[in-house]
Amino acid sequence: MMMLKRFLYLAEEGSYSTGEVPDTVVGIALSGVPLATLIAAEEGLKLAVYLPAKHSRSETPTGSLSGTFSTITAQRCIIIDDVVTTGTTLAEAIAFLRRHGATPVAVWSLFDKQGVREIDGVPIHSLFAISRLG
């Protein structure tokens, strides 16, 4: 779990509980998928891709899981996205995973724009916090 340890160390967490080791990495399409793929490959974890409602082409936009990748039922999942802004997409993904029998254990992002620390009880770990100047 070297990548997991490095990420949490860089996110100033220092360590992680072995009880929170995930089975599946869920990348948020589109920009969270490359990092999720890297983490899943390095750690030997399953990969799933979540397509947020904002990317849906249907008349009634809903989020969905790509059928090309792993299923999430009964899986402990970490969710990967590039940027946390309002948390709306992450809240949607967390609710989707729970409705489909998964347990989201953490969200990881590269950048945090708003200082969001958790969504619906799921902790958020970001490598960098972005602040406005002026």
Q: What's at 53, amino acid-wise?
A: A
What is the extent of the structural domain holding 79?
A: 2-129
pLDDT of the residue at 72? 93
Mean pLDDT by groups of 10 residues along the chain of 134 residues: 62 51 92 93 92 77 76 94 95 96 94 92 89 76
Residue with tokens 């979540």: 50
Is residue 125 within 8 Å of 4, Cβ to Cβ? no
Residue 40 lies in a domain: yes
DSSP state of 1: -
The rounded distance, in Å, linking the Cα atoms of 19 and 31 is 28
Report if residue 17 sits inside a domain. yes
Query: Is 13 within a domain?
Result: yes
Question: CB neighbours of 19 closer than 8 A, spacing ≥ 6?
Answer: none
Rounded CA-CA distance 91/79 in Å is 11
CATH number reported for the structural domain that contains residue 7 in this entry:
3.40.50.2020
Contact (CB, 8 A) for 7 and 127: yes
| Strand 64-65 with 46-51, pairing | antiparallel
- Please state the domain count of the chain: 1
Instruction: Tell me whether residue 123 is in a domain.
Output: yes
Determine, yes or no, domain membership for 33.
Answer: yes
pTM, rounded to two decimals: 0.84
Residue 134 resides in a domain: no
pLDDT, position 69: 84
DSSP annotation of 78 reads E
